[in-house]
Amino acid sequence: MPGGADRHRLARARAAPLPGRGRSLGAGAPAAPRRRDTALMSETGWGGYRTAGDGGGLGRTLEGFRRQATVVHALLLREMQTRFGRNQLGFLWLFLEPLMLAGAIATLKSSFEFGHSIPGVSMFVFALVSYLPYFTFRAIISRAPGTLRANMTLLYHSRVKMLDVVLARHLLEMAAVVTVMAMIVVGVAIWGDQPPADIPTLLIGIVLLFLLAQGLGLMAAAVSAVSEIAERLIHPLIYLSLPLSGALVPLHVLDPMIRDLMLWNPQANIHEMVRDGFFGDLLPSYYSVGYVLFWVGLFNLLGLAALRAVRPKLEF
């Protein structure tokens, strides 16, 4: 057995705490806490993880847009399957619906001509070109109410925002009408010998009408999410606004006083711009692009603010 001195040394060795264990802050130098190298870390992305070396603020912005586009694309496919089913006929109906409605309106208009005959312009083509953009406007706003309630379960996901849900539904309507418009343009150019006079003006007019409807649709989706009365009023108001939209009547045939009043409506300006892009000098047109841009920006800002304001009031 070890001697007394050895026993005392062994007891002290057993009682001594191991390095880093059992010490108070004043008993010795504490271990330095682990720190993250923030220079190599970026902001948390939509996926909840961090990436390194993203190229700075511009890289983060582009990455955010890319992720948002991925989410919107997935929501767009889901919206198509929910609305039209998985079969080919349901997908085809996406394009046949606006074409059939526009064709019916065009047939009625060309039969009665509403007292206005435009030299060199087919009333059937005029009605198609005028009504299809209006169909986009009406479809986007009329389908906006109930969008948030119908997709409430999707909003549980952190990567899905309210704007993504509304935008996916609006882009679906836009894609259908643009496709049908392209078919009409090609058909009229081949068989009707009347190609568009100014394709850039035509396309810009359609995009502006979509953006105008987008802003109003954002407000309609936000208001209808918290008020059933507003949801019921939106549909009849859209139909009642048709005479003031300038969709079916060229403004140059109206009395100058009435025409000036109609031009206060940005939608009437856009319809005139679309007709100007298609018919050119065959049809006198009156519109202001700057005036339209003002209302497009205002409506979209108000729509985004409405979505932000209504978010805390939604029940998940």
Model confidence pLDDT, tens digit, residues 64-106: 777 777 877 777 777 777 776 666 666 677 667 767 776 777 6
Please state the pTM of the whole predicted model. Answer: 0.72
Q: Which amino acid is at 236?
A: P
Q: Check residue 163 and give its pLDDT.
A: 81
Report how far residue 276's alpha carbon sits from residue 269's, in angstroms, rounded to the nearest whole number: 10
Q: Check residue 213 and give its pLDDT.
A: 92
Residues in the chain, pLDDT under 50:
1-2, 8, 10-11, 13, 15, 18-54, 114-115
Q: Check residue 92 and give its pLDDT.
A: 72
Q: Check residue 117 and give its pLDDT.
A: 60
Q: Check residue 18 and give its pLDDT.
A: 47
Helices (H) and strands (E) in the chain, counts: 12, 0
Q: Check residue 3 and give its pLDDT.
A: 52
- The pair of three-digit structure tokens given for residue 178, joined into one six-digit string: 């643009």
Helices 88-112 and 123-143 cross at an angle (nearest 10°) of 130
The domain locations on the chain are 56-311
Cα radius of gyration rounded to whole Å, the chain? 31
Q: Check residue 264 and give its pLDDT.
A: 95
Report how far residue 62's alpha carbon sits from residue 54's, in angstroms, rounded to the nearest whole number: 10
